[in-house]
A and B are shown apart, each in its own frame.
Chain A
């Protein structure tokens, strides 16, 4: 027998003394050297005993079993143990098939088994503690952020409101400025001889107007005379420029008794019915009764000035 593997059936034959001496020697010598075969012989021995206890040994082997196999008290003890094991196992609760048990292990059962380990339970506890601290920190941080956000929104609203207020004020100032400019322009246009200047709406300035033509002398008979009412606010003088003059820019000075009461350094003539004219708006409070002289100068490009005419008028102030 040269097989390297000894089957369970062959081992049973050996244990029951059914093999030849040669076969027995070969198996024994192999078993002394091979721990696996040694374990297999022990396992077959137990299986044979269990079969005997269960009454499953064939009749032709039963005699050999009882006469040969059960020759020693040690084997009898093994039979007694096998009988006890059979009875105890039979008393156990009927169990479900092995394959049905594994799927019924729930997640919580697995978790409980895992947490039964001290190291795992400790690590799990630490993890829970860390999560709890982290959760508290997140909540506190969220509350702070919300409070800060509300404050910022409030500030933003206040700033928006302030901006709107300022824009409104700016708009109002712009409108006022435009209105004043329009009024001034209107007043200037009315002074050119067009339709009767509109009396300014109260409180409107009271204007005394006088037109001075070129070439008039200061003799008594030809000097224009102006009566200014007591409540007049402005003396508006229209100085008509000699058509032969080529200056584009003029300056004018109004004096009385050698004292200058008004000066206009740069005047641009505008076209009117009487010709090109420049206009002077003099506060009435600066004018007293008496004779006045208007000195008109033409301004050259190089900044030099040349007298182009003198105009005279008499004022009677009431």
Chain B
């Protein structure tokens, strides 16, 4: 069965949470799901994790509120189909297709909920007490970086608009890095810092 590309939404009661399902994932169903990825269980598990990671990215990019939950829901739906006897030739592509359908459900079903959610999003985070904690955590995490990396991340994000672009160009020249390589290096440092800050914030 090829990956469904239809954009027709699956009708769900508006009050019912999109991410819930009456069908429960059993061990047998999960084993069949894994087996559909690859005969070897270890290889199947690896592909399962890769597909799950892509699902999370997809739901995130598409503006869905709970990417991980949506990913799990997607796997549930695919596992159900397989356990009911549906033959799937390309499980990874099939899963992505199901996810895209789920995205449409989520967008439509949560349009009203998003209005209230938007109010929360537009709240001034800087007035949040957590912001000060986040500042302190970020300074701590910055100091844990090597001097070279610390200087890189600070230099990369200094300045506004055109000054920032020129500053990054000069930084790349000084470090001997192409601008794309500098961008990727700053990206990895930023993600590392963000994980460090979130861990620090959660620890209180």
- Write the residues of chain A forming the contact surface with B, with a CB cutoff of 8 angstroms: 14-15, 17, 21, 24-25, 28-29, 31-32, 38-39, 41-43, 46, 50, 54, 56, 66-81, 83-90, 92, 95, 97-99, 101-102
Contacts and interface: CB of A to CB of B under 8 A. Distances in A.
A17 B125 contact: no
B53 to A, nearest CB: 9
B187 interface: yes
Contact of B170 (A68, A70, A84, A99): A99
Contact of A88 (B58, B61, B63, B135): B135
A66 B118 contact: yes
Contacts, number: 116
Interface stretch (B15-23, B27-35, B37-45, B64-72): B64-72
Contact of A84 (B60, B135, B191): B135
Given A71-B117, A88-B139, A43 B187 contact: yes
A142 B142 CA distance: 59
B62 interface: yes
Interface residues of B, number: 51
Given A50-B157, A74-B67, A98-B173, 6 more contacts: A21-B100, A31-B57, A72-B67, A80-B125, A81-B198, A83-B126
B61 A15 contact: yes
A56 B7 CA distance: 34
B193 A85 contact: yes
Nearest to B111: A67
Contact of A78 (B157, B187, B194): B194
B62 to A, nearest CB: 7
Contacts of A73: 65-66
A17 B63 contact: yes
Interface in B135-191: 135, 138-139, 142, 154-155, 157-158, 160-161, 167, 170-171, 173-174, 183-184, 187, 190-191
B61 A28 contact: yes
A188 B122 CA distance: 151
B114 interface: yes
Contacts of B190: 46, 85
Contacts of B167: 97-98
Nearest to A25: B100
A39 B138 CA distance: 23
B7 A21 contact: yes
B131 to A, nearest CB: 7
Contacts of B170: 97-99
A178 B170 CA distance: 103
Given A31-B57, A80-B131, A17 B171 contact: no
Nearest to A88: B138
B9 interface: no
Contacts of B184: 39, 43
Contact of A79 (B7, B57, B125): B125
B197 interface: yes
Q: What 6 pairs between A and B have smallest CB-CB spacing?
A: A98-B170, A71-B63, A68-B63, A98-B174, A84-B134, A70-B121
